[in-house]
Amino acid sequence: MTTLEGRTLGERYRVETLIGRGGMADVYRAEDVMLDRTVAVKVLTERDDGERDRFLREARSMARLNHPNIVAVYDAGRSENWSYIVMELIDGRTLASVPAHELTVHQALRHYIEILDALSYAHDNGIVHRDMKPANVMLLPSGSVKVMDFGLARRATDMSSNTTAGEIVGTIAYLPPERFLGKAADARSDLYSVGVMMYETFTGQVPFKSETDDLVAVIFGHVNEPPPTPRSVNRAVPMQVERIIMRLLEKEPDRRYQTAPEVIVDLRTLLGPTSGGVTDPGLRRGQAASNAPPTAADAARKTIEADAREVLARTFGKSRPIDVGYSETLAGMLATRKGDWAEASRAYQSALSAFAEAKNEIECAKTALKYAAMVLQKNTEAESNADRREVSNAIDILTEALPSFRGRSMVRELEEGERLLYALQRVLIRTR
């Protein structure tokens, strides 16, 4: 694996130590020999033109921002065919890696006030972050925070309703519904992502998740399902905090907070001495699932999961056939919910073709489960008017999918597939 340690970029930045590695860029500690200061240098490892353009957009977006809670960008350039950004070196931990038992309610609220203050400044300058998540917030030893990685940001005036599935980049767990529906994104989209972050901080989990790593199910949740209330997950969450989180997580942007300062006002009210405020316990006390404080292993798992979500998100944003597959599967799920069988069938068939084109066997198999379940629901309701050809097609598709689950020891999916296969065969027998 290529490393730049020991090299000098742009005849100025002497690269010293690798301090972070991501899917598309590595971050090094380096010495600015001209100004005699230590800096962070982010070096692009992807070489295609699209990624180079996005990397340059990150530099331009961040260089416009000068705020105490935003990581400063000093320089950007290209050296020996390496594109790089020179940034303020931050000594701290990401919010994603901080165990919840280390935070009190008041500390968490203060962190989010600073995060929102940074976003308010960016929004006022026409910049939407577009990738807000705990892994992009650094917690400094002083207790203050720094928002970083405006790599997915673009000027608000550049966003339109023409956004395609291929432009949906970021981390799935934190994206707002409008990003999946191809609608315009704006400052309120960042506020939704902050709502997901707060939900996770106060409950220990994101509002929409999938135990089987089914990304489409997560997307469907963001678009179509109400999140469980924070207090239903953790009884210790103050009711006032729950109200703020739930308003941030409104599906329709018009129903959310409209600006970051509005949220800041409500959070500061909770901290005020005359407001009645909130008590200040550790965040996990009274949690419904467990009263035990998280262990070091819990913190490590949370960090690993955050890293995995980043990788999944980058994969999602990079491959056009995969994008089409996810988008069409989501359309199929929504159509099934409405009982629009023709649209559901069309969407699932399109998704299966897209995943097959991408040679993504496991997503193809998962979509086959959803398609088979839709066909069963439709033809069970139809009773004597069941479509034998459609049922036979679903049986064939499902039969081809089952070995994918069997070979990966995906027991839950395999059992569900076998159940659906048996039910579809009974429908076929009944209609002879």
pLDDT for residue 256: 97
User: Does some domain include residue 199?
Assistant: yes
Is the same domain home to 219 and 71? no
pLDDT digits (tens, 9 = 90+) for 421-431: 999 998 888 87
Question: Among the three residues 26, 60, 87, which one is the final residue of a domain in this structure?
Answer: 87
Given a cut of 60, whether residue 168 has pLDDT beyond it is no
pLDDT digits (tens, 9 = 90+) for 89-104: 988 898 988 887 788 8
Query: pLDDT category, 180, cuts 50, 70, 90?
Result: confident
Mean pLDDT along residues 321-335: 81
pLDDT for residue 28: 93
Strands, sheet with 93-94, edge to edge from the N-terminal-most edge strand: 93-94, 137-139, 145-147
Rounded CA-CA distance 263/257 in Å is: 7
Is the same domain home to 285 and 335? no
Does the model's pTM come out above 0.95? no
Is the same domain home to 138 and 281? yes
Given a cut of 80, whether residue 294 has pLDDT beyond it is no
Mean pLDDT along residues 326-330: 82
Residues facing 70 on adjacent strands: 147
User: Does some domain include residue 347?
Assistant: yes
Is the same domain home to 270 and 130? yes
Question: Among the three residues 271, 293, 317, which one is the final residue of a domain in this structure?
Answer: 317
Mean pLDDT along residues 59-65: 82
Residue 69 sits in which domain range? 8-87
User: Does some domain include residue 109?
Assistant: yes
Mean pLDDT along residues 181-196: 91
- Hey, how many other C-beta atoms are within 10 angstroms of the C-beta on 357? 15
Given a cut of 70, whether residue 319 has pLDDT beyond it is no
HEC sequence for the chain: CCCCCCCEECCCEEEEEEEEECCCEEEEEEEECCCCEEEEEEEECCCCHHHHHHHHHHHHHHHCCCCCCECCEEEEEEECCEEEEEECCCCCEEHHHCCHHHCEHHHHHHHHHHHHHHHHHHHHCCEECCCCCHHHEEECCCCCEEECCHHHCEEHHHCCCCCCHHHCCCCHHHCCHHHHCCCCCCHHHHHHHHHHHHHHHHHCCCCCCCCCCCHHHHHHHHHHCCCCCHHHHECCCCHHHHHHHHHHCCCCHHHCCCCHHHHHHHHHHHHCCCCCCCCCCECCCCECCCCCCCCHHHHHHHHHHHHHHHHHHHHHHHCHHHHHHHHHHHHHHHHHHHCCHHHHHHHHHHHHHHHHHCCCHHHHHHHHHHHHHHHHHHHHHHHHHCCHHHHHHHHHHHHHHHHHHHHCCCHHHHHHHHHHHHHHHHHHHHCC
Place of tokens 């026409």: 126
Is the same domain home to 99 and 248? yes
Question: Among the three residues 41, 62, 87, which one is the final residue of a domain in this structure?
Answer: 87
Is the same domain home to 261 and 369? no
Given a cut of 80, whether residue 70 has pLDDT beyond it is yes
Is the same domain home to 287 and 398? no
Is the same domain home to 69 and 201? no
pLDDT for residue 162: 44
Q: What is the CATH number of the domain that holds 356?
A: 1.25.40.10
Rounded CA-CA distance 22/45 in Å is: 9
Burial call 209-234: b when 16+ CB within 10 Å, e when fewer: eeeeebbbbbbbbbbeeebebbbebb
Is the same domain home to 292 and 193? yes
Residues involved in catalysis: 131
pLDDT digits (tens, 9 = 90+) for 329-380: 888 888 888 889 999 999 999 999 988 988 888 889 999 999 999 999 988 8
pLDDT digits (tens, 9 = 90+) for 203-255: 999 999 876 667 788 888 999 899 999 999 998 889 999 999 999 999 999 99
